[in-house]
Amino acid sequence: MKHVLIPTDFSIRSLRVIHSVIEKFGNEKITIVMMHALRMPTSITDLMMLSRRSAHQDLITEDYKDACEIIRNKYASNIQLLKTEFLFGNTSAVFRNFLQYQNIDIIVCPDTEEFRLAGKDSYNPAGLINKSKYPVYRVPLTPRKEKFLVSAMSELFEV
pLDDT at position 120:
78
Angle, CA 95 vertex, CA 7 and CA 119 arms, to 5°: 50
The pLDDT of residue 151 is 39
Rounded to two decimals, what is the model's pTM? 0.81
Give the integer Cα–Cα distance in Å for 112 and 115.
9
What's the confidence (pLDDT) of residue 31?
Answer: 95
pLDDT given for residue 81 in this prediction: 94
* Per-residue tens of pLDDT for the chain, all 159 residues: 899 999 998 888 888 889 889 988 878 899 999 999 888 766 676 666 665 556 667 778 888 899 999 999 999 999 999 999 989 888 899 999 999 999 999 999 988 777 787 777 778 888 889 888 899 998 887 665 555 544 332 322 232
What pLDDT is stored for residue 49 in this prediction?
A: 61
Total domains, the chain: 1
Q: Which domain holds residue 71?
A: 2-156
Checking 88-92 for CB contacts under 8 A at 24+ apart, the result is 88/38, 88/39, 88/40, 88/50, 89/39, 89/40, 90/37, 90/39, 90/40, 90/123, 90/128, 92/128, 92/131, 92/132
CATH number of the CATH domain containing 72: 3.40.50.620
- Residues 78, 128, 135: CA angle, nearest 5 degrees: 45
What is the reported pLDDT for 114?
Answer: 73
Residue 153, pLDDT score: 29
